Amino acid sequence: MAHHPTIHTFRRMKEKGERIPMLTCYDYTSAKILDEVGVPLILVGDSMGMVVHGHESTLQVTLDMMIYHSRAVVRGAKHAMIVIDLPFATYSASDLPLSLRSAARAIAEGGGHAVKVEGGRRMVPVVRTLVASGIPVMGHLGLTPQSIHMIGGYRVQGRTEEAAERLLAAAHSLEEAGAFAIVLELVPSHLARKISESLTVPTIGIGAGPHCDGQVQVFHDIMGMYEDFLPKHSKRYANVAGTIRDAARQYIGEVKDGSFPSDAQSFGKGSAVGE
């Protein structure tokens, strides 16, 4: 069985000042490629609601969808640690048995190694319960997309001194509850630095500046596949949508003009399929 990094690997990386690259992933083929190049941490993110299923937010994602995609990712990535997002309304401090059932299903059926939950202090009982049951938990602070209707849109969090203090306190409470890492989303750079320096567990930033212990981005954003919207915090490293468009146009043209398939893609008498 292949060895994957553990929660201790990432804490050691933080101690050594080694940055942690994390990417989202939702399918076997992409997982295999990311694994080959050595991405150590893969998030099966509920962002699949938008980039794979075309929903307007993450709120429509179900636990069954997460498990289905997670199994595909696990088959492709043999060396990365795989974290699964627990989707909207599948966990809550007011229903710890539900939270444990959801997390246990994500791990047992989805095959990942850890789960991610969104929220600050109110998540402490959830994190404690899951960790006590042997399920590693990654926290998520700042902009928490599952609470988008409560937050009132996608905007930077922790801008006031009071809000900043609240975020810092929340990060500490999640660490004390047993979270092995914390995602900071849309948090001012100086605050993310302060939080990162005051925690012993690693922070993973997304739109939280360069001082976090690691970074996470959405696969379809950095590959230039999802063109509906590119967040300010993202960088396009490729234009895969353009490549697919060009290839598809060429294929259409060749089918129409009869140049595909040629003899090279055709079978004669007695030729083997693999030839």
Q: What is the rounded distance in angstroms from the CA atom of residue 257 to the CA atom of residue 191?
A: 59
What is the pLDDT at residue 272? 64
Tell me, what DSSP letter sits at residue 82?
E
Contacts of 43 (CB under 8 A, 6+ apart): 22, 23, 24, 25, 82, 83, 84, 85, 116, 216
What is the pLDDT at residue 151? 76
pTM for the predicted model, two decimal places: 0.94
Structural domains of the chain in order of their starting residue, each with its CATH number? 7-243 (3.20.20.60)
CA nearest to 170, candidates 200, 145, 140: 140
Q: What is the rounded distance in angstroms from the CA atom of residue 35 to the CA atom of residue 207?
A: 24
- Point out the residues of the chain with pLDDT beneath 50: 1
Tens-digit pLDDT profile for residues 1-40: 457 899 999 999 999 999 999 999 999 999 999 999 999 9
> How far does CA 89 lie from the centroid of its chain?
18
Contact 36, 63 (CB under 8 A): no
Read off the tokens for 12: 């050691």
Q: What is the rounded distance in angstroms from the CA atom of residue 116 to the CA atom of residue 140?
A: 7
Residue type, 177: A
What is the pLDDT at residue 1? 44
What is the pLDDT at residue 271? 58
| Phi, psi (rounded to 5 degrees) for 141 | -120, 170
Q: What is the rounded distance in angstroms from the CA atom of residue 58 to the CA atom of residue 40?
A: 24
Tell me, what DSSP letter sits at residue 77?
-
- The strand ranges marked E within 54-124 are 81-85, 114-116
CA angle 232, 233, 238 (to 5 degrees): 90
> How far does CA 171 lie from the centroid of its chain?
19
Tens-digit pLDDT profile for residues 189-199: 999 999 999 99
What is the pLDDT at residue 269? 75
- Which of 162, 185, 227, 254 is the catalytic position? 185
What is the pLDDT at residue 148? 83
Active site residue 185: yes
